[in-house]
């Protein structure tokens, strides 16, 4: 497993001088440190987590977003036991994102288990591009609060505006 701080630091919960200075100069955030420590703890109980490479992390409202490299987030999202152990350890919702995945895949991972019917770019009257995702009405109504969170995550992680459209409207 790889995390943004030294494995030893993550195990002990104390940063070495090198990581401490990376934290001071903004290369690392407190959330990165917090998530690294939690991930190490979880990896002792679960071999799948031991294969993770955590690139960085974000805290958006009370939710955590973990940006992973070379992980298949669809497999993680489909593993209820894994998700449960994360939410227990993080004491809240944890979102998984693949570093460098395509926009389509990135959005599919966030919307899971909601099916995305279509992803396309649209241009606002002011000329700014936004990404538009089309889903079914029943999903829109059921996951309304989640969708609002996804919009924030997309904005923070990929610096993109997201519009969610209901199919057939």
Token duo for residue 72: 């298949």
* Comparison of 9 and 98: residue with beta carbon closer to Zn ion: 9
Residue 33 binds Zn ion, judged by CB under 5 A: no
Residue 54: beta bridge partners? 68
Per-residue burial over 68-92, b = 16 or more CB atoms within 10 Å of its CB, e = otherwise: beebebeebbeeeebeebbeebbee
Least gap, CB of 100 to Zn ion (angstroms) = 25
Query: What is the length of the chain?
Result: 169
Q: Which of 1, 6, 103, 116 binds Zn ion (CB under 5 A)?
A: 6
* Comparison of 9 and 108: residue with beta carbon closer to Zn ion: 9
* Comparison of 1 and 6: residue with beta carbon closer to Zn ion: 6
Least gap, CB of 18 to Zn ion (angstroms) = 5
Least gap, CB of 40 to Zn ion (angstroms) = 13
Residue 9 binds Zn ion, judged by CB under 5 A: yes
Residue 16 binds Zn ion, judged by CB under 5 A: yes
Q: Which residues contact 125 (CB under 8 A, 6 or more apart)?
A: none
Least gap, CB of 6 to Zn ion (angstroms) = 3
Residue 19 binds Zn ion, judged by CB under 5 A: yes
The interface with Zn ion within residues 66-95 (CB under 5 A) comprises none
Pick from 90, 26, 34: nearest CA to 62:
90
* Alpha-carbon distances of 65 from 35, 60, 129, rounded to whole Å: 9, 7, 24
| Chain position carrying tokens 């290369």 | 27
Q: Cα(144)–Cα(99) distance, rounded to whole angstroms? A: 26
Residue 98 binds Zn ion, judged by CB under 5 A: no
Pick the piece of the chain touching Zn ion (CB under 5 A) from 5-13, 57-65, 120-128, 159-167: 5-13
Residues binding Zn ion (CB under 5 A): 6, 9, 16, 19
């Amino acid at each position: 497993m790889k995390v943004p701080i030294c494995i030893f630091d993550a195990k002990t919960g104390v940063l070495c001088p090198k990581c401490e200075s990376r934290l001071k100069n903004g290369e690392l955030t407190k959330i990165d440190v917090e998530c690294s420590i939690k991930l190490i703890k979880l990896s002792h109980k679960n071999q799948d987590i031991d294969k993770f490479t955590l690139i960085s992390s974000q805290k958006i409202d009370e939710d955590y977003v973990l940006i992973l490299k070379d992980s298949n987030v669809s497999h993680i999202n489909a593993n209820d036991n894994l998700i449960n152990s994360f939410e227990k350890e993080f004491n809240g919702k944890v979102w998984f994102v693949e570093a460098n995945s395509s926009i389509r895949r990135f959005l599919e991972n966030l919307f899971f288990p909601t099916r995305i019917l279509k992803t396309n770019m649209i241009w606002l009257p002011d000329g700014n591009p936004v990404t538009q995702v089309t889903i079914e009405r029943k999903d829109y109504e059921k996951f309304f609060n989640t969708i609002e969170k996804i919009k924030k995550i997309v904005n923070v992680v990929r610096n993109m505006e997201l519009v969610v459209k209901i199919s057939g409207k």
